[in-house]
A and B are shown apart, each in its own frame.
Chain A
């Protein structure tokens, strides 16, 4: 339950994850935090110049740790980075991404998780504009509401 609270805290605060692209964090990010096309370009330039790869990896310099991901934010990063893959495999009821995700949230009976979560597809992806954060929130809610899943998954 504690883990779930941590994730929810991440999801409900204004905290947003950095995108997959390496532009967006590192030393350049700390220098220019305004996210515009020009600053994005400048950030990349600064990052390249000062070799801020450590910052990009360890989450220093205001970076969201997208490379070496903290355990708590791993679930968020994974579900965000693989939004379409996860959506696709939840609809199919199987696949490596949904299987990896079930392991990540502590649902070890993968087959059971995959087929149960498949039935909740419409509840998770309510419309075409469902964001990764809302989708994750809906998955966790679905797991919590499902008696069998909530009993078998460690995260809850």
Chain B
């Protein structure tokens, strides 16, 4: 080889290697850029934390790289390599990566047009997608079940509408995709505890809407609210592709507060949201109502539909009956022989259906026989006309869940400023618009004050959790009220205002209520703990009376509590105390309320020892 030729070859080699180096450098930069893109992070459910960042997905099959859970770049490289080949290795069902991760495949294919990827046939995925896909998507909110603590925040899921949403009979065959706790145990105390502290796996499940309708609106008597979302075909496609990725490959831990049905749905919807981030609107907890509200406020929501629960259907039919028809209704329920009309039979049928689903323990062979008899008689009475059921105020119209308030007042003779903060969710004195009337669930409410005369700061109350379910009791619908409360309070009844005691109480009772009035009587037990007490605790019966009135939009609430400890030596009068409170809330704007409050603690017969406070101020929901 001549000297010149050798030089030319050397130059070419240098140039090519330089080009390769430049290309490789560019490719490397692009890899880093794509791996840090928000879409890639969303696809991996990657959460950036203060100390460490990683994916919230809890199954190894969701990641193609060994370090994929924490390393965005390595996971992207592993996905690119997998999409260059067709190997049936992925998901527990063993399918090609292109079929296991269709949205990742689309995203990577569009981001790296210079790479030749292989297309795979995906019969399982295509079959699933063809069955589920719809022309529109609705976010469905299942409101709280009146007496079930585990459902108190509500539930959300997605519904894909293949057919005309307005036509309920066809709508029933649409599919619903939900993220929910995989649980075999029936709801109860343990269920709630596991939900709070972990112990459940959350999985995506797919069901026909008729099944979901039956489960929620019939069996659990929960209203369903359907918010149709303004999403285009490509956005629906992306959501569905990504749902499959989760559905086929992974699960998430399930916690009631922060990693629940709503947080996962919010992350999925966030994939296609360009003008609003639902995830950023979540504040350490995710409430179904907040997702619904964020969507409503974002103009992403088109039409809203209401599906009443079986309980509401029954009461609507019953309340429409004339007085003589109501008499016939009660006679039929008492199994007396009556010759009546189709409307009465219709109300009785809805009643028995509600009883059968909601009060399962009241069902026996005789009930089933009589229900069948009524159905048979109704069929002979001919067709009854359907009645319209009023649509209540939708859940997105309610107040925001967090509340902060500043009140000024007197405590005995001292001037006191009190500051209240509650991160969630709904108190008995809050406006019921958009909520189940006369119910309360408050978590981590802190109430502290500054005493100007004594120049000190003290805790007035720390509510760790307070749940009050006060449904209406009637002989047709025998709902039991209950409440549960875990609190820290100063021992003012023992003149130790600066010393804090912890108390836990659980009570059962009955309530009479309608949308304007409440009267509730509850009785149960209370345990109080403090080192000052003999054996560190007191325990005994606890009585509570609650009454409430709506005066215009203002809410007046009166609360009386009486506790009598059965343990402890010494004078009997030292072991019991009462307290009462009177509060008036006057809404001043959609998210602001003026509050007046008066409380008193003391012991019967010793009024001079009572401890009184009066305060007034403004609270803001945020």
User: Which residues of chain A have a CB within 8 Å of any CB of chain B?
Assistant: 20, 22-23, 27, 40-41, 44, 47-48, 50-58, 60, 67-69, 74, 77-78, 81-82, 84-85, 87-88, 90-97, 99-100, 103-104, 110, 114-115, 118-119, 121-122, 125, 127-128
- Whether B128 is near chain A, meaning CB under 8 Å from some CB there, is yes
Determine chain A's interface SS by DSSP, over half rule.
Answer: helix
Given contacts A54-B247, A118-B383, contact A48 B201 (CB under 8 A): yes
- Whether B299 is near chain A, meaning CB under 8 Å from some CB there, is no
- Whether B376 is near chain A, meaning CB under 8 Å from some CB there, is yes
In the complex, residue of chain A having the shortest beta-carbon distance to the beta carbon of B346: A92
Most buried by B among A41, A114, A121: A121
Determine chain B's interface SS by DSSP, over half rule.
Answer: helix
Whether B248 and A53, one on each chain, are in contact in the complex, defined by CB atoms closer than 8 angstroms, is: yes
Whether A115 and B376, one on each chain, are in contact in the complex, defined by CB atoms closer than 8 angstroms, is: no
Looking at the assembled complex, report how far the CB atom of A69 sits from the nearest CB atom of chain B, in whole angstroms.
7
Whether B372 and A125, one on each chain, are in contact in the complex, defined by CB atoms closer than 8 angstroms, is: yes
Whether A88 and B375, one on each chain, are in contact in the complex, defined by CB atoms closer than 8 angstroms, is: yes
Whether A51 and B383, one on each chain, are in contact in the complex, defined by CB atoms closer than 8 angstroms, is: no
- Contact for A81 among B59, B211, B386, CB less than 8 A: B211
Looking at the assembled complex, report how far the CB atom of B399 sits from the nearest CB atom of chain A, in whole angstroms.
33
Query: Could you give, for residues 381-420 of chain B, a 1 whenever the CB lies within 8 Å of some chain A CB and a 0 otherwise?
Result: 0111010000000000000000000000000000000000
Whether B376 and A122, one on each chain, are in contact in the complex, defined by CB atoms closer than 8 angstroms, is: yes
In the complex, residue of chain A having the shortest beta-carbon distance to the beta carbon of B383: A93
- Contact for B128 among A22, A57, A115, CB less than 8 A: A57
Whether B214 and A51, one on each chain, are in contact in the complex, defined by CB atoms closer than 8 angstroms, is: no
| Residues in B whose Cβ lies below 8 Å from that of A48 | 182, 201, 203, 251
Q: List 17 A-B contacts (CB under 8 A).
A: A44-B182, A48-B203, A53-B204, A57-B206, A57-B247, A58-B127, A68-B175, A69-B208, A81-B210, A82-B214, A90-B379, A91-B376, A91-B379, A92-B349, A93-B382, A93-B384, A94-B383
State in angstroms the CA–CA spacing of A80 and B251 once bound together: 30
State in angstroms the CA–CA spacing of A128 and B372 once bound together: 6
State in angstroms the CA–CA spacing of A40 and B426 once bound together: 39
Given contacts A50-B92, A57-B128, contact A68 B386 (CB under 8 A): no
State in angstroms the CA–CA spacing of A52 and B380 once bound together: 47
Given contacts A44-B184, A100-B170, A128-B372, contact A54 B248 (CB under 8 A): yes
Whether B170 and A85, one on each chain, are in contact in the complex, defined by CB atoms closer than 8 angstroms, is: no
Whether B203 and A68, one on each chain, are in contact in the complex, defined by CB atoms closer than 8 angstroms, is: no
Looking at the assembled complex, report how far the CB atom of A121 sits from the nearest CB atom of chain B, in whole angstroms.
4
- Whether B368 is near chain A, meaning CB under 8 Å from some CB there, is yes
Q: B348-367: which have CB < 8 Å to A? A: 349, 353, 356, 365
Which 6 interchain pairs have the tightest Cβ spacing? A121-B379, A93-B383, A99-B169, A91-B375, A100-B169, A68-B131
In the complex, residue of chain B having the shortest beta-carbon distance to the beta carbon of A118: B379
| Residues in B whose Cβ lies below 8 Å from that of A103 | 169-170
State in angstroms the CA–CA spacing of A134 and B308 once bound together: 31
Whether A68 and B378, one on each chain, are in contact in the complex, defined by CB atoms closer than 8 angstroms, is: no
Whether B368 and A51, one on each chain, are in contact in the complex, defined by CB atoms closer than 8 angstroms, is: no
- Contact for B368 among A88, A104, A128, CB less than 8 A: A128
Whether B172 and A96, one on each chain, are in contact in the complex, defined by CB atoms closer than 8 angstroms, is: yes
Whether B93 and A54, one on each chain, are in contact in the complex, defined by CB atoms closer than 8 angstroms, is: yes
A-B contact count (CB 8 A): 133
Whether B93 and A60, one on each chain, are in contact in the complex, defined by CB atoms closer than 8 angstroms, is: yes
Given contacts A54-B247, A81-B214, A82-B210, contact A91 B205 (CB under 8 A): no
In the complex, residue of chain A having the shortest beta-carbon distance to the beta carbon of B168: A96
Looking at the assembled complex, report how far the CB atom of A123 sits from the nearest CB atom of chain B, in whole angstroms.
10
Whether B93 and A67, one on each chain, are in contact in the complex, defined by CB atoms closer than 8 angstroms, is: no
State in angstroms the CA–CA spacing of A93 and B375 once bound together: 11
Whether A53 and B384, one on each chain, are in contact in the complex, defined by CB atoms closer than 8 angstroms, is: no
Query: Could you give, for residues 177-190 of chain B, a 1 whenever the CB lies within 8 Å of some chain A CB and a 0 otherwise?
Result: 00000101000000
Whether A67 and B214, one on each chain, are in contact in the complex, defined by CB atoms closer than 8 angstroms, is: no
State in angstroms the CA–CA spacing of A82 and B217 once bound together: 13
- Whether B124 is near chain A, meaning CB under 8 Å from some CB there, is yes
Looking at the assembled complex, report how far the CB atom of A115 sits from the nearest CB atom of chain B, in whole angstroms.
6
Given contacts A51-B59, A85-B218, A118-B383, contact A67 B375 (CB under 8 A): no
Most buried by B among A23, A47, A58, A114: A58
Whether A91 and B169, one on each chain, are in contact in the complex, defined by CB atoms closer than 8 angstroms, is: no
State in angstroms the CA–CA spacing of A74 and B170 once bound together: 13
| Residues in A whose Cβ lies below 8 Å from that of B207 | 67
- Whether B173 is near chain A, meaning CB under 8 Å from some CB there, is yes
Looking at the assembled complex, report how far the CB atom of B180 sits from the nearest CB atom of chain A, in whole angstroms.
10
Given contacts A20-B211, A81-B210, A122-B376, contact A27 B201 (CB under 8 A): no
Given A57-B206, A57-B247, A100-B172: 11 more A-B contacts, CB < 8 Å: A23-B184, A47-B182, A53-B247, A54-B128, A68-B206, A74-B173, A81-B208, A88-B349, A91-B375, A92-B383, A93-B382
State in angstroms the CA–CA spacing of A96 and B61 once bound together: 41
Looking at the assembled complex, report how far the CB atom of B131 sits from the nearest CB atom of chain A, in whole angstroms.
4
| Residues in B whose Cβ lies below 8 Å from that of A78 | 208, 210
State in angstroms the CA–CA spacing of A40 and B346 once bound together: 39
| Residues in A whose Cβ lies below 8 Å from that of B365 | 128
State in angstroms the CA–CA spacing of A109 and B35 once bound together: 56
- Whether B79 is near chain A, meaning CB under 8 Å from some CB there, is no
Whether A91 and B92, one on each chain, are in contact in the complex, defined by CB atoms closer than 8 angstroms, is: no
Most buried by B among A60, A93, A122, A127: A93
Most buried by A among B169, B203, B214, B368: B169
State in angstroms the CA–CA spacing of A77 and B214 once bound together: 13
| Residues in A whose Cβ lies below 8 Å from that of B260 | none
| Residues in B whose Cβ lies below 8 Å from that of A47 | 182
- Contact for B205 among A22, A27, A85, A95, CB less than 8 A: A22
Whether B369 and A128, one on each chain, are in contact in the complex, defined by CB atoms closer than 8 angstroms, is: yes
| Residues in A whose Cβ lies below 8 Å from that of B124 | 54, 58
| Residues in A whose Cβ lies below 8 Å from that of B511 | none
| Residues in B whose Cβ lies below 8 Å from that of A87 | 375
Looking at the assembled complex, report how far the CB atom of B306 sits from the nearest CB atom of chain A, in whole angstroms.
14
| Residues in B whose Cβ lies below 8 Å from that of A44 | 182, 184
Most buried by A among B132, B211, B251, B369: B211
In the complex, residue of chain B having the shortest beta-carbon distance to the beta carbon of A102: B169
Q: B213-259: which have CB < 8 Å to A? A: 214, 218, 247-251
- Whether B91 is near chain A, meaning CB under 8 Å from some CB there, is yes
| Residues in B whose Cβ lies below 8 Å from that of A82 | 210, 214
| Residues in B whose Cβ lies below 8 Å from that of A84 | 353, 356
Looking at the assembled complex, report how far the CB atom of A136 sits from the nearest CB atom of chain B, in whole angstroms.
15
In the complex, residue of chain A having the shortest beta-carbon distance to the beta carbon of B353: A88
In the complex, residue of chain B having the shortest beta-carbon distance to the beta carbon of A55: B93
In the complex, residue of chain A having the shortest beta-carbon distance to the beta carbon of B207: A67
State in angstroms the CA–CA spacing of A20 and B369 once bound together: 24
State in angstroms the CA–CA spacing of A122 and B372 once bound together: 10
Looking at the assembled complex, report how far the CB atom of A90 sits from the nearest CB atom of chain B, in whole angstroms.
7
State in angstroms the CA–CA spacing of A125 and B201 once bound together: 41
In the complex, residue of chain B having the shortest beta-carbon distance to the beta carbon of A52: B92
